[in-house]
Structures are given as C-alpha cells and as structure tokens.
Amino acid sequence: MGILDFFNKKENKDKYIKWLKKNAGERMDANRKELFKPDRCNFHLDRYEFASKYIKDGNKVLDVASGTGYGAFNMRKNNPAIDIIGVEIDEMAV
C-alpha cells in the first residue's frame, strides 16, 4: 500500500485530521486549509511548487525535515514518475 492509498482510506484520514488538530501548534499540513490560515498554507506550498519546477521524470527526491509529509505527498501526487523519500527526525511528526 502506498501513502496515497493509506491517506485516501476514510478511517486513516479521520485519525490524521484529529491528530493534526490536536498538534496544530507544532505540526503543519498545508493541504488542510480548513485547519490553518491561508497565508501560512500558501507559504509552505510555494516552496514545494518552486522545487517542483526543477524535478524531471525519473529523478530521485529527498525531502529532509518532511514533518507530516504533505510536501512529499504533493510532489509525488503531481509527478508520479519520480522517486521521493521524506525523512523526519521527530517521530511524533510522522
């Protein structure tokens, strides 16, 4: 099961949203604009949009300090022909 499959399952999505609401001061998911201010979301999403301009099919991408993984999720969703790995030192973020 890939990460997209995992988060598309309703029971996993509901648990994630509940956890994210509880930890919103420390964690971010810019895809959840209903939980965070639009300016904050756009600031975070713009970084991944900028980086995406330089990624070509078949590239390998490392998302360091990936937090909840929303950036890696978006990059993979928008370009399925890349290999992307997200790493995070804080196990509570993953």
Helices 70-78/38-52 angle, 10° precision: 50
56 vs 79: CA distance, rounded Å: 9
Q: Is residue 35 part of a domain?
A: yes
Q: Is residue 92 part of a domain?
A: no
Q: Is residue 29 part of a domain?
A: yes
pLDDT tens digits, 10-59:
788 888 888 888 887 788 888 888 888 999 999 999 999 998 889 999 99
> What residues form DSSP beta bridges with 64?
87
The domain tally of the chain equals: 1
Single pTM value for the model? 0.72
If you ran DSSP here, which 8-state letter would residue 36 be given?
Answer: S
For residue 19, the SS3 value is helix
Domain residue limits at 9: 3-87
Q: Is residue 53 part of a domain?
A: yes
Cβ neighbours around 20 below 10 Å, total: 17
pLDDT tens digits, 56-91:
999 999 999 888 888 998 888 888 889 999 998 887
